[in-house]
Amino acid sequence: MRAVSVEEAVAMIPSGASVMVGGFMGVGTPERLLDEIVRQKKAGLTLICNDAATPGKGVGKLFDAALVSRLTATHIGLNPKAQQQMLANQIAVDLVPQGTFVERIRAGGCGLGGVLTPTGVGTLVAEGKRQIEVDGKPFLLETALRAQFALVHAFLADYLGNLAYALTSRNFNPVMAMAADTVIVTAENIVPVGVIAPDHVVTPAPLVDYLITNG
Amino acid sequence: MDPQIIIARRVAKELKSGNLVNLGIGIPTLVANYVPPDLKVFFQSENGLIGTGPIPEQGLAHPTLTDAGGRPISALPGASTFDSAMSFGLIRGGHVDVTVLGGLQVDAQGHLANWMIPGKMVPGMGGAMDLVSGARRVIVAMQHAAKGKSKIVAKCTLPLTSARPVHLVVTDMAVIAFPDGRATLLETAPGISVGEVMAVTDAELVVPDNVPEMNI
């Protein structure tokens, strides 16, 4: 792990990159990284995030600045700008059931080719996918999902990069920290090694590539 | 009584002590207000919490404690938090005893459509498809009709949420279940006759000899 400034970290992300962003309706989202992406105008992003948050909040800022060209998400109904951009064909949107979304990312981070899920069988979600029977029950083959970058927000990060999360801001963060080539983390609090007890580390330090230093 | 409150009160009667329950947004959220205080029910919020509590007092909200809509909530003593993989493992894995969801249409076989209106409203399915596929018991809480049109239809014209039928539909007019894959009228709302329910229901309804009034 290397501690870097937010400017330095975002400079590593090229326009057109695939980026996973933690958070659920903007809760548990690395806001400082998103602000800097907007400032550096990293455009044409492939965004993988649970939702589109709301304008001005979380990944909503990326839609405000029209920086997203492809989106994989589970729900975008609370961001009218993301909806407009989808309906105007400015963004290609892939809507995925939330349990499938997180399992595809988990598979991507765990070396699996995908998962078999009953969710979506017999619905529009099944179109174009392989259906596989196991013990007489139908499942959809949902393939693994990875990205070039995961942008993760933690409550605590120690000097080595061990991470712990708070309440409902954990959500997709630890799963995404497994599923990208480069993992960049912001934390509410940067603390000495040992403050997070081994049993309370959720994301082990070797998974973290860059920790954003305090502003 | 307000139609939404009739629905919420009746659905609350379906919950049992020890149940792990997931409530969708809209009318389902109101159900928590009508659970008797002596009933120990665990409410899950799919963004990673079991043990959701009421909206905190002014000034006590915390930005990392929210419901699935991003609104501030509190956590009750004994609450637990977890990541989204675990949250949906709970849902898909049959660990959630009851889910209560809103609906756009439910058909005569109990199929639910509640996630999109093609060309008009494409918000995404969020957790709805996993909840209908995996929760032990699926209850739909919705108005019986919208703009004079029955929401209980012969066959869903909107895209389905799951091929798995729901277990119970509670509306402001009736309680309907689907034994043997056929919509069956179990109860009517206070002051509503069987004939009135039939008149605003597009699906064919099995009507038993005795259809009691909802006890709410």
Q: What is the pLDDT of residues B116-137, one digit of tens each?
A: 999 888 899 999 999 999 999 9
CA distance A208 to A48: 19
CA distance B193 to A208: 64
Say if CB B197 and CB B170 are below 8 A apart: no
Say if CB A100 and CB A119 are below 8 A apart: yes
Q: Which amino acid is at B129?
A: M
Identify the pLDDT of residue B1. 85
Which residues of chain B are within 8 Å of residue A102 when distances are taken between CB atoms? 83-85, 87-88
Q: Which of residues 44-63 of B touch A (CB under 8 A)?
A: 45-49, 62-63
Tell me the two tokens of residue B111: 């199929």
Say if CB B18 and CB B48 are below 8 A apart: no
Contacts of B153 (CB under 8 A, 6+ apart): B105, B106, B107, B108, B202, B203
- Break chain B into its structural domains and give their ranges: 3-199
Mean pLDDT of chain A: 97
Do B85 and A76 make contact, defined as CB atoms within 8 angstroms? no
At the fourth CATH level, which superfamily is domain B3-199? Glutaconate Coenzyme A-transferase (3.40.1080.10)
Mean pLDDT of chain B: 96
Do A168 and B45 make contact, defined as CB atoms within 8 angstroms? yes
Q: What is the pLDDT of residues A16-40, one digit of tens each?
A: 999 999 999 999 999 999 999 999 9
Q: What is the pLDDT of residues A49-98, one digit of tens each?
A: 999 999 999 999 999 999 999 999 999 999 999 999 998 999 999 999 99
Which residues of chain A are within 8 Å of residue B160 when distances are taken between CB atoms? 122-124
Identify the pLDDT of residue A120. 98
Which residues of chain B are within 8 Å of residue A76 when distances are taken between CB atoms? 123-124
Q: Calculate mean pLDDT across residues A164-179.
A: 98
Tell me the two tokens of residue B126: 């969020």
Q: What is the pLDDT of residues A187-205, one digit of tens each?
A: 999 999 999 999 999 999 9
Identify the pLDDT of residue B121. 82
- Break chain A into its structural domains and give their ranges: 2-96+145-212, 99-143
Sorting pLDDT into bands at 50, 70 and 90, what band is A131? very high
CA nearest to A142, candidates A117, A109, A179, A108: A117
Contacts of A191 (CB under 8 A, 6+ apart): A156, A157, A158, A159
- Spans of chain B below 70 pLDDT: none
Report H helices in B13-157.
27-30, 84-92, 128-134
Say if CB A38 and CB A165 are below 8 A apart: no
Provide the CATH number for the domain formed by A2-96+145-212 in this structure: 3.40.1080.10
For residue A163, pLDDT over 90 is answered with: yes
Identify the pLDDT of residue A14. 98
Q: CA-based angle B131:B107:B135, to the nearest 5?
A: 15
Do A175 and B47 make contact, defined as CB atoms within 8 angstroms? no
Do A99 and B125 make contact, defined as CB atoms within 8 angstroms? no
Helix (H, G, I), strand (E, B) or coil at B84: helix
